[in-house]
């Protein structure tokens, strides 16, 4: 793993404080998770076409609309940054060091560029309990390059 950036360390410190506050009963887990998810999503705002790991469908959408950007919303061709792993409440109880959060947040920041249609398929698979790299095969998603999980 590459050395964490200053931003990575700041994010890890915030996650560490939120997790500690949850464990000590000062903050509800739902609120801590909302904050963490928001920050993870914010890192990918307007950057989906630059995500290196992408589905064949996302690449087709990028190619179809080039040199413009694919539609942003209300289209099956819209691009989404799908997080490979979800932020779950148990992390707030099991990760209890800043270094642990640096590692965990790096894992949680792993994203794949997919189309809206593929994102809906992934949501259905996740609702059935499959997360992580396995969910892509179950949703019928193929990649432009091997992901190398």
Q: With contact defined as beta carbons under 8 Å apart, do 44 and 111 qualify?
A: yes
Domain ranges of the chain: 6-138
Give CA–CA dist 137/118, Å, rounded: 11
CA dist 124 and 136 (Å) reads 11
- In the predicted structure, residue 1 carries a pLDDT above the cut 80: no
- Please tell me the predicted confidence (pLDDT) of residue 122: 98
Count of residues in the chain: 149
Helices 29-42 and 6-23, packing angle to 10 deg: 170
What are the pLDDT digits (tens) for 36-65? 999 999 988 888 999 999 999 999 999 999
- As given in the structure block, the two tokens for residue 54 are 């992408």
Q: Which residue has the higher pLDDT, 16 or 149?
A: 16
Percent with pLDDT over 70 in the chain: 99
pLDDT tens string 98-123? 999 999 999 999 999 999 999 999 99
Pairwise CA distance, residues 8 & 134, whole Å: 27
CA–CA separation, 56 and 126 (whole Å): 20
Measure the CA angle with vertex 34, ends 28 and 38; round to 5°: 155
Instruction: For residue range 119-144, list pLDDT tens digits in order.
Output: 999 999 999 999 999 999 999 999 99
Query: Can you give the pTM of this predicted structure?
Result: 0.90
**pLDDT tens across 63-99, in order?**
999 999 999 888 999 999 999 999 999 999 999 999 9
């Amino acid at each position: 793993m590459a050395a964490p950036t200053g931003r990575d360390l700041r994010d890890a410190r915030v996650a560490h404080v939120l997790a500690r506050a949850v464990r000590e009963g000062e903050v509800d887990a739902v609120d801590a998770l909302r904050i963490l998810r928001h920050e993870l999503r914010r890192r990918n705002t307007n950057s989906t076409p630059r995500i290196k790991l992408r589905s064949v469908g996302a690449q087709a959408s990028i190619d179809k609309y080039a040199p413009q950007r694919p539609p942003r919303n209300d289209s099956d061709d819209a691009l989404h940054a799908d997080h490979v792993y979800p932020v779950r409440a148990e992390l707030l109880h099991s990760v209890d060091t800043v270094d642990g959060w640096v590692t965990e947040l790096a894992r949680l920041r792993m994203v794949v560029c997919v189309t809206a249609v593929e994102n809906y398929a992934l949501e259905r698979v996740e609702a059935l309990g499959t997360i992580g790299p396995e969910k892509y095969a179950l949703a019928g998603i193929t990649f432009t390059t091997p992901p190398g999980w």
